[in-house]
Amino acid sequence: MVTTLATTSGYLTDRQLEEFKRDGFVVVRGLFSPDEVQLIRDTFMDMNKNGPVPGLSEIKRKNVEGEVNAYDPSDPLSFYPRMMHPHNHPDKPVGPLAMRYMLDSRIRQILTKLMGEEPYAAQSMFYFKPPGSRGQDFHQDNYYLRVKPGTCMAAWTALDHCDEENGGMMCVPETADYEIQCPEKSDPKLYFTTEHVPIPEGKTAVLPILEPGDVLFFNGSTIHGSGPNRSKTRFRRSFICHYVPQSTTELSHHYQVYDFNGRLLSHIRHNQDGGPCGNLHQEPTAPH
C-alpha cells in the first residue's frame, strides 16, 4: 500500500507511521515546490550540458586490466550517467544546491518521525535516466551503506512525472525487516547495475505514480528498483539522499556523515564493506 500525506508539514499520523513500519516506504506529496523542483532539475541539467563531469559523473569502473568506461557510446547513460555525492563538490553549482536540499529541514522532520531519532546525512545522488536508458534492478540500500546497528533511509525526490513507461521507482511492501541478501547478477540488457535481489515469494512490487516534488521515503532493507525508461521523449530525473540514524556506530567507508547543521561528523567507525550504491557492469553494453 502506498501512503499519501495530505500535508507537507513533516508530521506523520500514527496510522501512517504504522503503515510505514509495515510496508517500509511512504510517499510525501508535494514536499518541494515547483520552483524548487525546477531549480534542482535545471542546475543539474546545466552541469551536464556538455556530458559527464570528471570527478562527479560515474562513468568508469575498475576491472582486472584497470579502469574502463562503463557505457557503450550508444547508451543514453554514456552522456547522462548518475552524479555521485554532488554535495562534496562546493566548487561546482550543484555542490551547495545538493548540500542545501540534502539537509533540508522538511526532510529532517519526516526522517525523525520515521527513524524515531535524529537523522544524519550520508549521501546525495542525481539520476538523469534519459529516454531509452536502462533501469536499476531490485536491491536493498543497506547492502551498500552497511549501517550498524539498524539500517539507512532514503529520501527519493521525483523531479519529473514518474510512471511505469519512464521507469518509475518500485518498492516491495513488507520487506522492511527482510534480511540483507547476497545479490544475484542482473540482466545487463535491462539494468545498468549488477545486483539483483529476488522478490520474495508471495510479494509484489508496487509502483507509486509520483509527480515532481513528491518524495518517496524507504528504509535500507526494503527491496526496490526500477525498469528501463521506455519513453521516447521523457526523462525520469530524481534527486536521492541517504541518511543514517543518530545511533549508528558503523557504516561503509564510502560515506561521510553530516548532521543537519552541515557539520562533518567523525565519530562513526568505517568498515571496508559496502559500495557506492549499485555497481556498474564491467563491460560496455548496448542499451536494451
In the three-class reduction of DSSP (H, G, I as helix; E, B as strand; rest coil), residue 275 is classed as: coil
Binning pLDDT at 50, 70 and 90, where does residue 41 land?
A: very high
The domain 14-52+60-271 is placed in CATH, from the list 2.60.120.620, 3.40.50.1000, 3.40.50.150, 3.40.50.300, at: 2.60.120.620
The distance in angstroms from the start CA to the end CA of the chain is: 30
Cβ-based burial of 46 (10 A; exposed 0-12, middle 13-18, buried ≥19): exposed
Domain ranges of the chain: 14-52+60-271
Helix/strand/coil percent split, the chain, to 5: 20, 25, 55
Peptide bond into 73 cis (omega under 30): no
User: What is the reported pLDDT for 6?
Assistant: 38
Cβ-based burial of 100 (10 A; exposed 0-12, middle 13-18, buried ≥19): middle
The residue with greater pLDDT, 29 or 12, is 29
- Cell 508535494, located at residue: 30
**Quick check: 4 and 25 in contact, CB under 8 A?**
no
The reported pTM is: 0.90
User: What is the reported pLDDT for 11?
Assistant: 64
Average pLDDT value for residue range 245-268: 96
Average pLDDT value for residue range 104-121: 96
User: What is the reported pLDDT for 169?
Assistant: 98
Binning pLDDT at 50, 70 and 90, where does residue 12 land?
A: confident
Residue 252 has pLDDT above 60, yes or no: yes
Alpha helices in the chain (DSSP H): 14-23, 34-47, 94-102, 105-115, 142-145
Task: Compute the distance between CA of residue 111 and CA of residue 49 in angstroms, rounded to an integer.
Answer: 33
For 44-96, what is each residue's pLDDT tens digit? 999 999 999 999 999 887 666 667 788 999 999 999 999 999 999 999 999 99
pLDDT over 70 for what percent of the chain?
A: 89
